[in-house]
Amino acid sequence: MNTLIIGASEEPSRYSNMAANRLLDHGHTITLLGKRPGEVRGHTIYTALPADLPRIDTVTVYVNPQHLETFRDTILSLAPRRVIFNPGTEHPEFMNQLRENGIEALAACTLVMLSIGAY
């Protein structure tokens, strides 16, 4: 199961970085997309999606709703099973559009979901 983290960061205090580490700790495969290039535990942070992107099961969002607009078409084209809108990233209109396209849209916290076994 591959998770795309939008808003990935090398900064350990950022929630996207914590999520990347916890996902890896739980055995998940991750793809990282961020504003700046870098890496988390040997995984490249891309500034644009790679051409050889594996099938994405889950997208977890760590950018504010205004910045999310630039990713809207990309997320829809990936047709993931679900998109998790972490606290502060909720985008009701986009969430409805995802649901209309058969994609589960959750206002939730990836870190909490992992900690309680609900991921």
Query: Residue-wise pLDDT tens for the chain (119 aa)?
Result: 899 999 999 999 999 999 999 999 999 999 999 999 999 999 999 999 998 899 999 999 999 999 999 999 999 999 999 999 999 999 999 999 999 999 999 999 999 999 999 99
Number of domains, the chain:
1
**Cα–Cα distance, 12 to 2 (Å, whole number):** 21
Question: Are 9 and 38 contacting, i.e. CB atoms less than 8 angstroms apart?
Answer: yes
In a domain, residue 49? The reply is yes
Computed over every residue of the chain, the mean pLDDT equals 96
Torsion sign across C-alpha atoms 69, 42, 29, 109: negative
Q: Residue 17 is part of which domain span?
A: 1-60
- Residue 25 has a pLDDT of 97
Q: Is residue 99 part of a domain?
A: no
CATH code at position 16: 3.40.50.720
Query: Can you give the pLDDT at residue 112?
Result: 98
Distance separating alpha carbons of residues 63 and 23, to the nearest angstrom: 18
